[in-house]
Structures are given as C-alpha cells and as structure tokens.
Structure 1
C-alpha cells in the first residue's frame, strides 16, 4: 500500500517540553506529514480523556500560551519542511486579540489554525486574521451539522476542512463505514481538501480513508503512548514512531 498523508496531534509540553519534542521527532520519522500542536486548555469541548488528561498535567506546571508558542517555534526550526497547525479554543486566542495572536503564531512558523469552538461563519475575524498572516483557518465539520449548514461550509471557499468523523469527543474508536465516507464526500463537495480524523488509531482504519482524504488525523492514540512511556524516552520514541509508521503506511 502507498504512503498515506498523516496529520498527527500533540499537546504542547506534554509530559515535558523535552519529551514532547522527542515525540514530535518520532512522529516525523514515522511518516507524519503535518504536526497539529494543541495549546493546553482547561475546559475543552472536543477532547477525550487522553488529551484532556494531558492538558491538565501540563497546566499544573503553570504552562502559558507563550510556552506553547515557544515550543512550536522550536519545532519549526527543527522541522522547517513540516507544516505546523495550531489547535486551540476560542478564548485562548480571543483574549489577547485575534490579530495579535495570529501574528505571533505565524512568526513561530504556524501555517494553519484549528479552533473547533469558533463557528466558520461567526469566527470573530479568524479567517481574515489568518489570511493576513499567511496562514489558513481550518474549520471543523461534524456529522451532527444540518445538511444546509454543511453545504454552506463546504462552499465557503476554505482551502481545507477538518472532518470530525463522528459526533462527541475524540479518543474512542471510530468505525469507517459508508456513512463516514458519504460525510467526507459532502465536506469536500465544494472543492475544499478534507482532513479526516477522530478516533483513528490503526493502519487498517487509515487504509479505508487514505484515498478519500487529503490526510488522516490521529491524536489520542499518540497521547496514550506518550503517557504509557513517559518515564523512558527511548521507549517513547520507538512506540510513537512505530504507530505513526503503521497509520501512515510508511513502509508501504
């Protein structure tokens, strides 16, 4: 099987900046094409237990947005050819001002923003602020959206749309069935490229999605591996790299 584009999700600073960097290196070496870096947040609406737990641990260290951006900047310097998307929630980027935040993010090497709780058509100016700073806003589509609203998003001219492949929180396994594939087709019906994720944890799942999406998204599976091996950097690297290679079908 040919290589599948992989967007891998990491929580900045989890369980430490050093180990998060080790995990990022493992992801890239394992075939990740895009790094989606989440700024830790205390009250997430889309994250499952693995990611929420990771965020809590990082915030207990009094980790700030500036620390997360510094981590992203370091990643960009190490992997200049890997696009980095910043994932966060509206209040974190709205409080300092969208324009100011987007400029800072772009200066750190961020290429796109994923803010699940800002609706695509009431985004407080996020799309414009991203465009002004050479980034893209990547809105999130969910199967729970009405057909009319989904069609409106699909035809709104976004270069990319993040398709959450089921409702609810991420982390539990998603079955890729005909309904999933039909949803992906609707999301991309206006010409946007589609990133598909939520509950993707195996090579078998990604194989079903590989030719239907621009990239497969996986996150909680990596966070669980990082948690499991957080006391052994070498084991963490090997486990994360192996899982990324499985999902991306790096070895063909």
Structure 2
C-alpha cells in the first residue's frame, strides 16, 4: 500500500520539483492556533507537514524550537492532544502527509503499541524520532513500519559510507539529511556541499532525500532544492510564530507563517528552473 508520503513524492517527481517540508510545533502558541496554522500550510505551498511533539528536554533543537516546545507544554499540549490535532486536520485534508517529529520519551510514556495504533487512526503518515539510533529499531521503528507508518531517519555530515547502510536499513518515506553539524537553526547550509552529500546518500538508496537545518529564505530553498528532493524549514517558521504571538496572536500568527511559506514555496518551485 502506498503511503501519503510516497504518493506525494511520486507526484512531485512528475512535476520535476522538490518538496517544501514545513515544521511547526504542535500546541504552539496554543492548540487551537496550531491547528489553524497546520490547516493553512498546504494552501500556502507546503507539500508535507512535520509536527513537533513537545518535549521538556529537546537536546537536538536550537533555542527557537526549544522555546516553542516549552510554550506548548506550558499551554497544556500533550501527545494525546497532538494526535487529536492531526485528527481534526484530517477532517479537511486527506492528502497532505503529516509526520510527527520529536523524541522517544513521550512515545515511551504513552506506550508504543497504543501510540502506533492511535497515530494511524488519527491520520499520521510518518515518524522522525531523533534520539532512536538504528541499534534501537525494535523499540519503535519496526513496530511502526509493520503497522504502515513511514519511519524517517536522519543522516548528517558525519554519517560516513560505513555507517550509512545501517541508517538506511529500516528507513522509509524519505531520508532527512541534516545539512550542518550542530543544533537546528544555527547556521546556513552550503548548497554545493549539500548537493554532494545528497548524491552520496543516493548511491545507497532510492528514497527521496530532503535537506533541513538552516534554511530560512526563498533563495536558500531554491539553492538547496536544485540538488535535493525536498527542503525542510522549521526554525524560521517557529520564530515567526513567536514574534507574531508577542504582537497579538490569533490570525496574525497564521498570516505570519503562511506569508513565509508562500515565499519559500516560490523558491522551491524555481529550483529546477534555475538549474536548467
């Protein structure tokens, strides 16, 4: 059975353009506004949506996403509420892929078997769990794959050819290439180095390769999109949510995010044109 993620990348391949993958934190700035943001993202140009699962100790995230997670937790967001957000989203959109991204602890506390079942029923398509290495696949990866969820793994500049096969072994949906070493939102990626890294990963897999960390502008999205199957943007959107929330919140928050997404979408749509 083809998943929504696989179907989306298949369509984008026909359109000869990379995906725009947008990350926002579930429950930020509050549950209701987060749902409105998610619902508005596809029309603004997002091809896939990553929803952050708020966690109190997000070790791989930069300050902006850390603050977003803490805001969400303070406002009462739980993993159960995050799944309900996906369920509500699905009432109006049955096509846009949704990936939950975060850490294993909330899933472990929820209970793996129950989480996988509830995630599928809610309409989740894939998982990115940043602190579960391949050596721990039996904890969540294999049960998720067996149930029909895509399990997306991270590769980094330090993932060499010896390590890469282990990383890719049970990966599905796409590969998420972290373009810089360090935390999210900390630097801008080098497009030439990214293109070389994507080519190297593609020698080991037929899966699409999406590139994230540090992409903030339409120009950067276009540059990265020339050599990748997708461009992931998170910190720029989360920062916009934070700023707009300080200025009043509500519909202004949704507009602040969708304005940026529309610009980024224009960037990824010109990526292959620029290459040609």
Q: With structure 2 as the length reference, what TM-score do the two structures score?
A: 0.84
Contact 1:76/1:84 (CA < 8 Å) preserved in 2? Answer: no
Of the three residues 192, 198, 217, the one matched with 1:202 is 217
4+ runs deviating over 3 angstroms: 154-159
Query: Which residue does the alignment assign to 1:235?
Result: 252
Identify which of structures 1 and 2 has the higher relative contact order when contacts are C-alpha pairs closer than 8 Å and 6+ apart.
1
Of stretches 170-179 and 109-118 in structure 1, the one that deviates more from structure 2 is 170-179
Query: Which residue does the alignment assign to 2:7?
Result: none
Query: Which residue does the alignment assign to 1:75?
Result: 89
Query: Which residue does the alignment assign to 2:41?
Result: 27
Query: Which residue does the alignment assign to 2:241?
Result: 226
* Cα pair distance change 1:183/1:63, threshold 3 Å: same
Give the Å deviation of 1:156. 5.4
Q: How do residues 13-162 of structure 1 correspond to structure 2 at under 5 angstroms?
A: 13-154=27-168, 158-162=172-176
Of stretches 176-185 and 45-54 in structure 1, the one that deviates more from structure 2 is 176-185
CA deviations on 1:121-171 (whole Å, 9 max, x unpaired) are 422342321222221100111112233102443465634211111111101
Q: Which has the higher helix share?
A: 2
Give the Å deviation of 1:4. 4.2
* Cα pair distance change 1:245/1:3, threshold 3 Å: farther
Of stretches 110-119 and 126-135 in structure 1, the one that deviates more from structure 2 is 126-135
Structure 2 unmatched runs, 5+: 1-15, 271-276
Query: Which residue does the alignment assign to 1:249?
Result: 266
- Considering only aligned residues, what root-mean-square deviation do their CA atoms show, in Å? 2.0
Give the Å deviation of 1:199. 1.2
